[in-house]
Every structure is written in structure tokens, then in C-alpha cells.
Chain A
Amino acid sequence: MTENDKAARRKKIMHACMWVVLLILFICFISPFLLVIINVFKTKGDITANPLSLIGEHGFTMDNFPQAMDKMKFWRVFTNSTIITVCATILTILVSSMASFVIVRNQKWPACSLLFSAMVASMVIPFQVLMVPLVSVYGGTLGVLNHRPTLILMHVGFSVSMATFMFHGAIHTNIPLELEEAALIDGCTRWQTYWKVVFPLLKPTIATVAIIDAMAFWNDYLLPSLVLTNKELYTIPIATQAFYGTYSTDIGLVMAALLLAMLPILILYVLLQRYIVEGVTSGAVKG
């Protein structure tokens, strides 16, 4: 056997070992989800008797799903979450890409530089510092809590600095000034130039911002729980929390509710996995 063959064999063995390690880690990582999935098809008694068995003594059951769906008002909370996430994501993208355009192209205007530095500085402020005044201004003084648009606009307000920062980078490095000048010479106004030339070129960044913010809005608990106290408006995380508070002893129903809460985003992940991983990576590395 030559040196090269030996090295190749060693590499193969190494790779096999690493593959086994990865597989074990992978199973550890997804085992909590697997546990929920195997228990969701068991009766309450069977889960308590043995949470690890694949099928309970009383056999396979689908009863947990319709009950949990009915009790957590699944379709209503799902619709609420969808409306809020979709509206807030679209608004964030429109509002922050427009702002970053005027900021990048007019860096000498004091208003632009002031707004941008305030946004960048604000990214370190944790939500805990803002929640008490937020509730007292919008709940106490203005009394606009418990409305969907309030939550949507608040979501946008909190995510606008990060999104502006990302669009700022994209316009700064990827959009050639000559392109805009050509459009202006051809008779476009600034407004038309933005929508017809600049905005379409921002597609990759739009995708990144959409993925990051949609995930954040969909999963957020603390802000929605402070703004929405009316059951009709509950989003999935608040509904899950409320459901657990009421039915924590009925473990079969809890399993079904948890699976239902996870299902929409997991289905989306299976379909758009590549884009989500790419979007999150580029968002994390730039931000």
C-alpha cells in the first residue's frame, strides 16, 4: 500500500467516525421533538405510565388533536399570528429600506446621520428597559392596547433599526450611484428612481430581513402578551402559555397543543429550508 492509499484510508475512517458523532448529536438535538411526536398519539394514562414507549397500551389515538385544536382555538390564533407577522414584516421592509435609501445617499444631512446613529445605538437596548414605559404610555395615557394595529406598529418600530442597518449596508455596497443618476437623467423623480431602480435590486436583503423578522414576530411572547390581553386577539405563543396554564394536567392535550404550535413553522422550514438557513446566516454575519 502506498503512502497516498494509507492517507486516503485514514481520512475515510476519520470521516466515518465524525459521521457517527454527528448522527448521535443530531438524535440528541431532535429527541425532544420526537418525544412530543410519539406521545401525541397516546392517551393521557399511557403517557403517564410510560412516556418512552412508542405506542401506549390503549393503542394509537388521534383524539388529542381535535380537542386541543378546539380548546386553544387553533385556527383563530393561527390567523392572528399570520396577520400580525405578515403585516409587520411587509411594513418593516418598506419603511426601513426607504429610510436607509435617503440615509445612504445624503450622509451629510444632519437629520440623516442623527437618525442613523440613534438607530445603531438603540440596538443594544433590551426590551426589558422599554416595556414598563411602553405599557404606561400606550396602555395608560393613550389607551390603544388590545388592537392588532398597535402591536403591528410596535413590532415595526422595534425591528426598524436592525433592518435599516442591513439595508444601509446593502445600498452602500451593492447599488451603483451611476444607475440612479441615469434614471434621474431619464426623467425619473427620486421617488420613482427608488421604486423602479433601487428597491428591485435589494431583493437578497429583503429576503434576509423578511426571514429574520418574520421568525422574530411569529415567536415573540413578551411584547404581544403585554399588548394583547383580549383572548380574541391571542397569538400562538400567548395561546400556548394560556393553554398550559389551564390544561397542564391533561398531558395528552398539552402534547397536541405544543405540536400544533410548532407545526406551521416546521412545515415552512421543510419547504424553504435553504433560504431560511442562508438568510439567517447572512443576517447574523452582517448584523
Chain B
Amino acid sequence: MKRNKLSYKVSQFLMFAGPAALLFLAVVIIPFIYGLYLTFTSWDGIAKEKPWVGFANYAAAFGDGDYWMAMLRTGIYSFFAVILVNIVAFTLAYLVTSGIKGQNFFRAGFFVPNLIGGIVLGYVWKFVFNRAFVAIGSALSGTTVPSLLSTTGGAMFCLILVTVWQYAGYMMLIYVAGFMSVSDALKEAAMIDGCIPAQAMWNVTIPLMRASFVQCIFLSITRCFVVYDVNLSLTKGEPFNTSVMAAMHVYNQAFTYKNYGLGQAEALLLFVVCAVVGVTQVYIGKKGEVAA
């Protein structure tokens, strides 16, 4: 039998999966392993030799106060952004599936921010915060007010607001699919049994949409933890580095301060924290899933 020969299998595999496997290996697997090696060196990005330093980078990463401040900030930002994104997205999904006029138009409109990259969105909002909001604020109060972006807490608030605006439309589409998957018969049965609409929503629709919640929360957590583009264009870490998120800190550590080994170790820790939070959330979420 020709089809059981090893050479046949190898040639088939290489013919179909060869290019994909090669590219995947070249840009994901090899850099990942090489990155693990880099965390044990004190390379500056230029020198030929990469001195072996053992676990010194991890020790330095644990002792890097700025890094942990950035991580804490990222945690706070993600916490508020994830909750708000999901509340707004769920509300929008409810409104655009209720059967009112023009719901497809609204759906398409809420999705628009997702079409445009974080860099451009950040600059658009920078204009809104620095010019439009300042103009409104000054007109209302009679004096010139400072921009929200130039105040310490304000910059974080702006980042959260832009994130909610950016992702709500995307998550809305997932919730819309969730709403569509709950059959009307179940809701009607609940209403006949005496539920008011709010009860039917809380006791029937929401439990059946659990998978949508798990997915949206997972996606928003993993995106918020590594936020970079909007952070760079909207606040650039200012004022006084009080809005530097973890991903920006890692970038600066490696490429600006040329501590490649330390930067890579910090990136790896960021990944571990993000993965643990995301997987825990999925685990808890899946445990209580119900079937219709």
C-alpha cells in the first residue's frame, strides 16, 4: 500500500502544511524559545556576545518598582475597561436585537471604531479631549479648564473611555449572536409562566448566553492587558509616566533603555499573569454553563 509509506506521509505533509509550518516556526516558535534564552542574558541589543547572567533578570524584574506600578495600573485599567466594555456591549446588543427600526444601521454604526487602528483612534480622541472637551468645559465654567489628559487620574480615565468606545461594538456583535441563539419559544414559555420581561431576561436569556459572556470577557481581558497603540498615541505615558501600561514599559525597557534581557523577562511575566487571569476566568465561567 502506497498510502501507508512514511515517504508518502512526509511528502504529503510537506506539500500541504510545509509553508505554514515553516512560517509559524520562524516567527512564533523559534522567537519564543530564543526569547526564553534571552531572559538569561544581559544583552544590550548591539554587542556580539550575550553574557549569561542566570536568573538575575528575573530578580531584577521582581525588584523593578516601575514595572510593578505599570502592572498595577494595567490591572486597574483592565478591571474597569473589561466591566464597562461588557456592560455597554450587552446593552447595545439588547437594543439592536429588540426588533426596532434601523437596527442593522445602528449595528453597523457601533462597529465603526473597530475598523480603525489604535494609533489613529488615539490621535482622534486626543483632539477631542484636548480641544473639544476643553472648549465645552471652559464655556460651561467661564474659565479655562485644563485637559483631562494632563491630569494624573484623568489620563487613566481617558484611556478607559477610549477602550470602551473602541471595543464595545465588537463585543456587541458577539452578544448579538448570543441573543439570536436563545430561542423565542423559551422566552415566551417563561412569560406564560408569569415572568415579567426583566425576569425572563435575568433567569432565561442571560444564563443561556453564558458562553458569550465567557468569550467576551476573555477577549477583553487579553486585549486590555497588552494595550499599546492607544496608550502610545493618546497619552504616551504622560503626565509624568503615570499612564505607562505594562506593554509600553516592556517596550521602553527593551528598545529605549536597551535592556533586552530584562525587557524580555518582564514581557514573559506579563504573558504569564495575563494567561493565568484569562484561563481562570474561562474555567470559572465554563463551570456553571447550562444547556438549553
A75 is an interface residue with CB less than 8 A from chain B: no
B111-135 with Cβ < 8 A to chain A: 111-120, 123-125, 127-128, 131-132, 135
Interface residues in A132-151 (C-beta closer than 8 Å to B) = 132-137, 140
A-B contact pairs, 8 of them (CB 8 A): A19-B100, A29-B169, A33-B124, A51-B135, A106-B12, A119-B24, A124-B275, A126-B274
A51–B132 touching, CB < 8 Å: yes
A164 within 8 A of B: yes
Additional A-B contacts beyond A109-B9, A128-B271, A269-B108 (10; CB < 8 A):
A29-B113, A99-B19, A122-B24, A126-B274, A190-B12, A240-B123, A241-B119, A258-B124, A284-B215, A285-B177
Q: Which residues of A contact B165 (CB under 8 A)?
A: 29, 32
- 3 A-B pairs with least C-beta separation: A219-B117, A157-B27, A99-B20
Please, which residue of chain A has its CB at the minimum distance from the CB of B107? A277
- A34: min CB distance to chain B, Å: 10
0 or 1 for each of B257-272: is its CB under 8 Å from A? (1 = yes): 0001001100110110
A284 CB contact (under 8 Å) in B13, B32, B135, B174: B174
Q: With A98-B20, A102-B17, A132-B267 as given contacts, are A161 and B35 in contact (CB-CB < 8 Å)?
A: no
Is residue B228 within 8 Å, beta carbon to beta carbon, of the partner chain?
A: yes
- A106-B9 CB under 8 A given contacts A251-B131, A277-B108, A281-B173: yes
In the complex, are the beta carbons of B38 and A136 less than 8 A apart? Answer: yes
Q: In the bound complex, do residue B17 and residue A240 qualify as a contact, i.e. CB atoms below 8 Å apart?
A: no
Is the CB–CB distance between B120 and A130 below 8 Å? no
- Cβ of B127 and Cβ of A102 under 8 Å apart? no
Interface contact B177-A261, CB-CB below 8 Å:
no
What residue in chain B is nearest A155 (Cβ atoms)?
B27
Interface string of B10-40 (1 = CB under 8 A from A): 1011011101110110111111101100100
Is A221 touching B117 in the complex (CB atoms < 8 A)?
A: yes
Binding site for A on B (CB under 8 A): 9-10, 12-13, 15-17, 19-21, 23-24, 26-32, 34-35, 38, 43, 45, 92, 95-96, 98-102, 106-120, 123-125, 127-128, 131-132, 135-136, 165, 169-170, 173-174, 176-177, 215, 219, 222, 225-226, 228-229, 232-233, 247, 250-251, 254-255, 260, 263-264, 267-268, 270-271, 274-275, 278
Tell which of A21, A30, A161, A221 touches B109, judged by Cβ atoms closer than 8 Å: A30
Is residue A95 contacting chain B, with contact meaning CB distance below 8 A?
yes
Residues of A bordering B, CB below 8 Å = 15, 18-19, 21-22, 25-26, 29-33, 35-36, 39, 47-48, 50-52, 94-96, 98-99, 101-103, 106, 109, 111-112, 115, 118-119, 122, 124-137, 140, 153-154, 156-158, 160-161, 164, 190-191, 194, 215, 218-222, 236-237, 240-241, 244, 251, 254-255, 258, 261-262, 265-266, 269, 273, 276-277, 280-281, 284-285
Closest Cβ neighbor of A158 among chain B residues:
B27
CB–CB A137/B31 < 8 A: yes
Chain A residues contacting B250 (CB-CB under 8 Å) are 128
